[in-house]
Amino acid sequence: MKDYSLRQPENKKRVVQALKALKYRVFAAGDSYNDIQMLTEADLGLFFQAPRHIRDEYSDINGVENYAELKKVFSEASEFVKESKVSL
């Protein structure tokens, strides 16, 4: 691809920062290098089906391999889900 450039550097990271500035807890999942900044900025960032070489290179970021695992990790970390279970 010729003359390619990102229109907004660190766009995913900036979205996470904006949501956190609004006092949201941010959970994020990604699978490639362009997601690293987002995953490290989020309150909970996970690799989702990321290639092994990326997971090895960024071993400080946990990862999951399927939607059931992703749902489990996010649900266990969610205050909303915990509150909803208590009120049932």
The domains found in the chain, sorted by start residue, are 26-87 (3.40.50.1000)
Residue 64 DSSP SS3: strand
The C-alpha atoms of residue 78 and residue 73 are separated, in whole angstroms, by 9
CB 3 within 8 A of CB 21: no
The C-alpha atoms of residue 51 and residue 25 are separated, in whole angstroms, by 27
pLDDT digits over 54-80, tens only?
999 999 999 999 999 999 999 999 987
pLDDT digits over 15-53, tens only?
999 999 999 999 999 999 999 999 999 999 999 999 999
Residue 63 DSSP SS3: strand
